[in-house]
Chain A
Amino acid sequence: MTRRQPHMLYTAWSFPPSRAGGVYRAVATVNAFAEAGWAVTVLTVPRELFITSTGVDLALEEQLHPGIRVERIDPAVPAFQNDLTRWSRSRARWPEYWRLLDFARDFRHFPEPNYGRWRPALEAAARRVHARMPVDLAIGTGNPHVDFVSGWHLKKVAGVPYVLDYRDAWQLDVFTGKKLITATPAVARWERRLIAGAHEVWFVNEPIRRWHVERYPEAEGKMRVVANGFDRYGPELTVPVRDHGPGTEPLVFGYIGTITSHVPLRQLLKAWRVARSTGGALTDARLVLRGYLGHFGEADREAQRLIEAAGADGVSYEGPVSKAEIADAYQGFDALVLALGTGKYVTSGKVFEYAATGLPVVSVHDPGNAASDVLRGSPAWVPTTSLDPDDIADALRATAELAVAQTGPEREAAQNWGAQYERARQLAPRIEALRAIVAT
């Protein structure tokens, strides 16, 4: 008798065509399980929700393994309803108060504003999927953390083991290191309950794992770091060395990523002006910024203003870039700027992609960030010693010199070093371990 294919139920609000940062981990996870021979069913939200709210990367849908079954469950969340003709007068006039009152519809089901109301539909969908084809393992990826309830529910009704995959944290503000204002007693109760029942709990870096171990020491044995990594969508991310001799094009520094209020853009642009004005390898150099301005589809006026004002310094904003075309974007750069918000729990996803290119990377973030742990040991890494513009300028100058001097073999060495962060290498050990529990 042949054993049936193991079946994994994956729950992710952020799923293609969403262009949110967390979506790449979701795509990589389901693809890795499907490629390892699992049947995979995904519970997510309707496509239209992303099209009309946060924006989409349509090419990302094409990266999904063809065997993956996607079920889209309408969460009926007004926060993502942007058709003003369907808004009441009170919502248009007092949006903050209207939203506060509306949160009651979430908290009745799950302590997470905007998302909690998804719980009943998710639980029903999980039962439906399990009835159609028995689920052997459930994984939920948060945030939102309501994504965790389908696994928890299936364990309760059918004994299915589940994994919690934290991309950040539920109660911890990864930027400040303090507890979030949304970490209410109800959140604490739910988190304890979810962690207690989980088979494994995944975190993206050791500092975030450690924070949780201190709060849930009894669960330490099942808490794992499953780091982010870079994904291969189409062409290789590696960038060959370019000739920087006399008469060649000036250096191009690149930044790829969402430009939020956490990114130290003001300091970066000030330092760029200082460093560029001192000449050397940065003479006539350009700084190209790619990515969305803000998370939620509203243009960030402050970021726009800063970038426009820096136009005379060779700074330009060239819009977002699809993940499927990201390798081409890297080809146009001579060095990369890793500008991140401050926080020892902050890693970001792009750090791995940056490492894979082999290009010199200048870190423009607090030296204590978890991203420093990722890049430590890279032969092409130049960290700033602080977020003081003069220190950043020094780092930019050093990076420019490295970009000019880096030889082909040195670039290749950096690429080989970065290859350790391929996403599949992070997931493979966990898939193997989880396959073993399903087989027993």
Chain B
Amino acid sequence: MKKIIILLAILVPSIALLYFSLTRDPRELPSMLVGKRAPAFALETLDGKKLSLEMAHGKPLVLNFWSTWCEPCEAEYALIKRAYEALSPNGVVFYSVLYEDTTENAKAFIARNGAAAPILLDPGLKTSIDYGVSGVPETFFIDGEGTIRYKQSGVLTPDILTQNVRQIAVKGGGSQP
């Protein structure tokens, strides 16, 4: 009996620990970058223009990582497009970084869904890795001082988007949306 109790005392916590660690999604962990300065980048757009973090300085920036092969991103695109059209005249900057995808796919996607925020190419996934991106969609809300205020892993909802744009607009540049 004593042996069974000892065995259970070892086995039960071990199995519980294993179950806990295997069922946790790392993408749900809070980002290490929130509250820190956003990593600098200078990337080319689909039409060959160069855009950088520096160019958005002083304005709230919504930095979205997405792919054409990601179904949730397609649903999210409509929301971002609407937000871009409504908020960019108020000084909110939107960049969409293409993750693990091709220029051709992005051009075809825009032809189907209409153009919205500038699409930035990320060769070698350097910027994606610099932002700790491990899947798409992921969105970073960066204030006018260049500090990351929030990271959304997974699809944005209108509430999450509005609430965080409001927060970054208050914390640095951009008129209240």
Q: A and B: partners?
A: no
Chain A residues within 8 Å of B, Cβ to Cβ: none
Chain B residues within 8 Å of A, Cβ to Cβ: none
